[in-house]
Amino acid sequence: MLVAAAVCPCPPLLVPEVAAGAASELDDARAACAQAVGVLAAARPDRLVIVGPADEPGRGAHPEGAHGSFRGFGVDLSVRLGRAVADTGPAAELPPSLAVGAWLLEHAGRPDVPVEGLGVGEPLAAERCVEVGRDIGARSGRIALLVMGDASACRTVKAPGYLDERAAPFDAAVARALGTADVEALKALDVHVAGELKASGRAPWQVLAGAAEAAGLTGTLLYEDAPYGVGYVVAAWS
């Protein structure tokens, strides 16, 4: 049963070593993420699952002990899921979104429980995302989710996706849904529009919606902004 969820953005720039001289620009986002992760610890889960967007090589389940790194972003920094050490091999390296999630847990007081990761392909159909979430929500014991993903990348002309007038309303709707734990609104997010706006969080958010269908959780919006023209939302469900 799902007992809590934290929703966080997944830019590697959340890691100060990656952001380097620009690290202070995301201090408020990091503080909100730490607060959201604290809600997970307070829920006393039996297991924690990090869900985040992944390309084809990073899709699928990642067991406790799986490693990730930020070497691809010019920083010799490694992370792993949970406290266990496992020989998962190079093919099991975490996608960036799950590596950021693992870093957040390490630096924000993670629950001392088993941790696993789930990389979700960004084009995955909404119905399939919800089904995956239902399977997680149907597990025995107390389950907590750390859900990683960004909103649109089209908020300004300097954004990765340039300026799209649909981006701000889309992000506002996402923030409302995440801030109020509106499961139906998350299920209804348009896959094609989200893809056109480069919103990497759409699929993980719909996994959350499936997991939370019968949980009766309430949401709190902790942060919403668009630094660098990308929508970042932090919320906690409990």
Residue pair 119/30 in contact (Cβ under 8 Å)? The answer is no
**pTM of the full predicted structure?**
0.94
**Residues of the chain below pLDDT 50:** 88, 91
The pLDDT score that the predictor gives to residue 36 is 97
Instruction: Read off the CATH number of the domain in which 104 is found.
Output: 3.40.830.10
CA distance 97 to 203: 13
Domain membership of residue 101 as a residue range: 2-237
Please, what is the end-to-end C-alpha distance for the chain in angstroms? Answer: 12
Question: What per-residue confidence (pLDDT) applies to 91?
Answer: 46
Number of domains in the chain: 1
Question: For residues 41 and 22, what is the distance between their CA atoms, to the nearest angstrom?
Answer: 29
The per-residue pLDDT for range 48-74, each reduced to its tens digit, is 999 999 987 667 999 999 999 999 999
